[in-house]
Amino acid sequence: MGASFSQYIKQLRLKSAVRELIYTDHPITRISLNNGFPNVKAFNKAFKEKYRQTPSEYRRFHQIELSDTEEGRGKKKSTLLKSPQFFMEVSKYISDREKSTMLTELAVSTVYIDLPPELVFTGEKGAKILAIGNLEYALHEEVQAELRLVQEEIGFDYVYFSNLFSDSFAMTTPLYQIGGQFYQMDALLNSFQRLGLVPFIRVEVEKEAADSAGYLKKLDAFLQHSLQYFGSPFVEKWRFELAFREWGGTQRNFYQAFYQTVKKRASAVKVGLHVPVSPEASKAAFLKQISGQCEFVCFTCNPNEKVDFTDMNNRTFEGVNILFL
């Protein structure tokens, strides 16, 4: 009594985590994710507050050998049932008549299925996208460990991030400068490639590209470098999503220049827009003007936001021939 709901949930998660620590050999990172903690750091902090020990220390003092548990005994039984000696012993109790029994009828039947004469088209399987926030967050070893674990367990197709040209990647150390201005970005993107994750890059234009000419110049250099470093088969799978706060002529000109810069280097790379769910006339006009250069549209669905759909005009997207994600 007297505990908040979040504290109650945390206690349940810790109780479950303790069982997993004792009865399995799962790594700490996996245990933290299995039991609802956002990361290992949060798990360690909560665990130490309750048990006055880190999860690793607790496991060292309390873990039970698998052979002494019910799970271990179950594995022994399973091994026994599959052993040749077991079947030899059991066969002694089968009569000669039963041993010589043969199947005289084949267990095969014919099934006829009536198919409709019209072709039925089904949508493509949706891609699984893993959002990690700003790209520089992936510099942390803890995040990289969780990425490996999550990718192993689920298998995402894309890694979604923003702030591609973060100041965190500025090369100030002489050793890094030898590797070029994209040294750290290369290391992160290389780790994504090894995990089978394709970059899905969000560009918050007003925030990241205040100097539009400088941004486009850096983008061009980055794409040229990436094609040489990673090769076109990987780079041409990338996606760029542009997010605007305003929908005027300046934004339209930037989008078109961005599109042309990308296509000049890698024509297969897709460029699209993030579109807020709101009935703005300027947004509808913007979409129609760039529809030939917009290859997909992304929406953000937040269950905590209340959106009034009663004022939405169904004709907002008429004439816009694009892919909605």
Q: Looking at 97, 121, 145, which one is the last position of a domain?
A: 121
* Predicted confidence band of residue 169 (pLDDT cuts 50, 70, 90): confident
Pairing of strands 297-298, 198-204: unpaired
Beta carbons within 8 Å of 113's beta carbon, 6+ residues apart? none
Query: Would you call 203 helix, strand, or coil by DSSP?
Result: strand
Question: Domain of 257?
Answer: 129-317
Rounded CA separation 299/241 (Å): 11
pLDDT confidence of 282, banded at 50, 70, 90?
Answer: confident
Residue 242 carries which DSSP code?
A: E
| 267: in domain | yes
Question: Which residue's structure tokens are 């999550």?
Answer: 150
User: Per the domain annotation, does 263 fall within a domain?
Assistant: yes
Looking at the fold, whether 141 and 86 belong to one and the same domain comes out as: no
Q: Same structural domain for residues 101 and 173?
A: no
CATH code for position 178: 3.20.20.80
Alpha carbon distance 146, 176 (integer Å): 26
Q: Are residues 157 and 186 in the same domain?
A: yes
Half-sphere exposure of 238 (CA within 13 A, CB side): 25
Burial 132-167 (b: 16+ CB within 10 A, else e): beebbbbeeeebebbbebbbeeeebebbbbbbbbbe
Report residue 155 as tokens: 């298998």
Per the domain annotation, does 175 fall within a domain? yes
199 and 85 in a single domain? The answer is no
Determine the average pLDDT of the residues in 130-135: 92
Mean pLDDT of the 29-41 span: 86
Helix, strand, coil: what percent of the chain each, to 5?
Answer: 55, 10, 35
* Domain match, 95 and 40 both: yes
Tokens of 204: 């918050």
Mean pLDDT of 135-158: 89
pLDDT at 36 over 80: yes
Euclidean distance between CA atoms 47 and 59, whole angstroms: 12
**Tokens 């400088």 belong to which residue?**
214
What is the side-by-side strand order in the sheet with 270-274?
Answer: 129-134, 158-162, 198-204, 239-243, 270-274, 297-298
Check whether 78 has a pLDDT greater than 50.
no
- Tokens for 121, please give them: 């088209």
pTM: 0.59
Residues 112 and 231 in one domain: no
Better-scored residue on pLDDT, 87 or 289: 289
User: Considering 121, 149, 171, which residue would you say is the last residue of a domain?
Assistant: 121
Give tens-digit pLDDT for 235-280. 999 999 999 988 888 999 999 999 999 999 999 999 999 987 765 6
**Judgement on whether residues 180 and 306 belong to the same structural domain of the protein:** yes
Regarding whether 161 and 96 lie in a shared domain, the answer is no
Task: Say which CATH number the domain at 16 has.
Answer: 1.10.10.60
- Please check whether residues 64 and 178 belong to one and the same domain: no
- pLDDT grade for 212, boundaries at 50, 70 and 90: very high
Q: By the 8 A CB rule, do 189 and 226 touch?
A: yes
Domain C-terminal end among 63, 88, 121: 121
Same-domain status, 135 and 18:
no
Total of domains in the chain: 2
Same structural domain, 247 and 301 = yes
Specify burial of residue 222 (Cβ count, 10 A radius: 0-12, 13-18, 19+). Answer: middle
Q: What is the mean pLDDT of residues 27-50?
A: 88
For 16-30, what is the mean pLDDT?
A: 88
Residue 322, in any domain of the structure? no
Count CA atoms closer than 13 A to 264's CA, side-chain side: 14
Q: How far apart are CA 74 and CA 303, in angstroms?
A: 44
Q: Is residue 97 part of a domain?
A: yes
Distance CA 222, CA 185 (A): 10
* 325 occurs within a structural domain: no
- Selected residue with higher pLDDT from 163 and 113: 163
In a domain, 323, yes or no: no
Assigned domain for 266 exists = yes
Same domain, 176 and 272: yes
The mean of the pLDDT values for the chain is 79
* Strand, helix or coil for residue 3: coil
Residue 36: Cβ-neighbour burial (10 angstroms; 0-12, 13-18, 19+)? middle
